[in-house]
Amino acid sequence: MSERVVVTGVGAISPLGLTAEQTWQATVQGQNGIGPITAFDASEFSCSIAGEVKDWDAESFLGRRQARRADRFSQFALVAARDAVADSGLEITDENRTSIGCYIGSGIGGLLVLEEQVHQLRDRGPSRTSPFMIPEIIANMASGLVSIDLGLEGPNIAIVTACATGSHSIGEAAEVIKRGAANVMLAGGAEGAIGPIGLAGFCAGRALTTRNEDFERASRPFDKERDGFVAAEGAGVVVLESYSHAKARGAEVHAEILGYGLSADAFHITQPPADGEGAARAMSAAITSSHLDSTDIDYVNAHGTSTPAGDLAETNAIKAVFGGRIPSVSSTKSMMGHLIGAAGAVELTLCINSIRDGVVPPTINYEVPDPELDLDYVPNVARELPVKHVMSNSFGFGGHNASLIIGAV
């Protein structure tokens, strides 16, 4: 019989806060974390707003040397990982470090450093290119740096599945523990790609909203007037442990990983099929692996990016999976935007707190119902609700689908 896998620590950095608890409290209050881009002049872009992390001073968290040698996404991962370990009360020692691993991915990786170094090469020549450029830009470096920082010598890889990265990383890390290859895994995702080239690419692909003047209401998942997502940044990391290991050391258990499903659309590089068939298969697989019935799910934290095609596909997928008994559904991206590779991990920390507090976060900016999207999206105000089992969905460019189910212990 495989090991049960539980969550004993959480860490998050988001446009709504520098900790998991700050992010959760802002989410429950329906606060907006989206605003005009401050990192660079975005006035000529069709979308000039984003969910930026506020008051970020990497050197104050990491020191000057480490901060200068890590791209922004890796900086976020390092701090979120430290917070998650602190929350777990886990002591990492020479005796246990080989049984503690790390699966932290990124959807895009070090795009900011890459863009900076392209300018450096063009303006000053190859001899002035940073020797740290390659280590800073590769997407596996968040996982690598966290393992170095904390001394984790167990399994270590980095998953890259665009917007599904965080959820895939957590699901696959849980599988590592289930098969006995590690006792503890740090898992999640990180993203820090709000720069000119990244924004230009998303704008060119017409993926982003153009509600620049109305930025507080720009991210509006499932609303009839939705017109694209809002790019965001941050990181989410959870500490996963075998239940037996957590109990043996007297750890506080936040939740249990009950189910994990994944699938491919095999349809289009950026668009899902309108019927959401691939997403539905991932959700159904998660329910099957959890040994629950669909009626046991109390809340679905939707992928819900505020794109016309994506929100329709996910709604249809939820209908196909849950039939006549559909739980409450909400998208927290309405408040913080889309954290790409970090989204699923940050959102899982919210799901854990939803179980803890008995509160379902809202979908803010839900103002004009879409006749084709007719579920209970918990509009605009958080809802007190006994929550025992939660499903969290993440779907990425390339047709990558992941669904996680967690439960109270």
Q: Which helix (H) or strand (E) holds 311?
A: helix 308-322
- pLDDT, average across residues 14-36: 98
Separation CA 258–CA 287 (nearest Å): 9
pLDDT of residue 2: 84
Is residue 12 scored above 90 in pLDDT? Answer: yes
pLDDT of residue 348: 98
DSSP 217-262: GS--TTBTT---B-BB-EEEEEEEEEHHHHHHTTPPP-EEEEEEEE
Q: pLDDT, tens digit, for every residue of 377-406? A: 999 999 999 999 999 999 999 999 999 999
Q: Is 206 left (phi over 0), alpha (psi -120 to 50) or beta?
A: left
368: amino acid identity, one letter: V
What pLDDT shows up at residue 349?
98
N-term to C-term CA, the chain: 19
pLDDT digits (tens, 9 = 90+) for 113-161: 999 999 999 999 999 999 999 999 999 999 999 999 999 999 999 999 9
Helices (H) and strands (E) in the chain, counts: 14, 14
> Does residue 290 surpass a pLDDT of 80?
yes
Q: What is the mean pLDDT of residues 4-27?
A: 98
137 backbone φψ class: left, alpha, beta (φ>0; ψ -120 to 50)? alpha
pLDDT at residue 1 tops 80: no
Q: What is the pLDDT of residue 204?
A: 97
Q: Which two tokens stand for residue 333?
A: 């991206």
* 338 is an active site residue: yes
Statement: residue 213 has pLDDT above 80: yes
Q: pTM for this one? A: 0.98
Kindly state the average pLDDT of the residues 66-93: 97
What is the chain's mean pLDDT, rounded?
97
Catalytic annotation present for 47: no
Annotated active-site residue 119? The verdict is no
**Catalytic-role residue among 254, 303, 389, 400:** 303
* Percent share of the chain, pLDDT over 70: 100
The pLDDT of 304-332, averaged and rounded, is 97
Choose, from 245, 338, 389, 400, the residue flagged as catalytic: 338
The answer on pLDDT for 94 being more than 90 is: yes
Rounded to a whole number of angstroms, the CA Rg of the chain reads 20
Cα distance between residue 122 and residue 111, in whole Å: 17
Instruction: Please give the angle made by the CA atoms of 7, 10 and 13, to the nearest 5 degrees.
Output: 150
Give the model confidence (pLDDT) of 337-366 as tens digits.
Answer: 999 999 999 999 999 999 999 999 999 999
- Domains of the chain plus CATH, in order, are 8-248 (3.40.47.10), 258-407 (3.40.47.10)
Q: What is the DSSP string of 55-89?
A: T--HHHHH-HHHHHTS-HHHHHHHHHHHHHHHHHT
Catalytic residue among 102, 163, 203, 351: 163
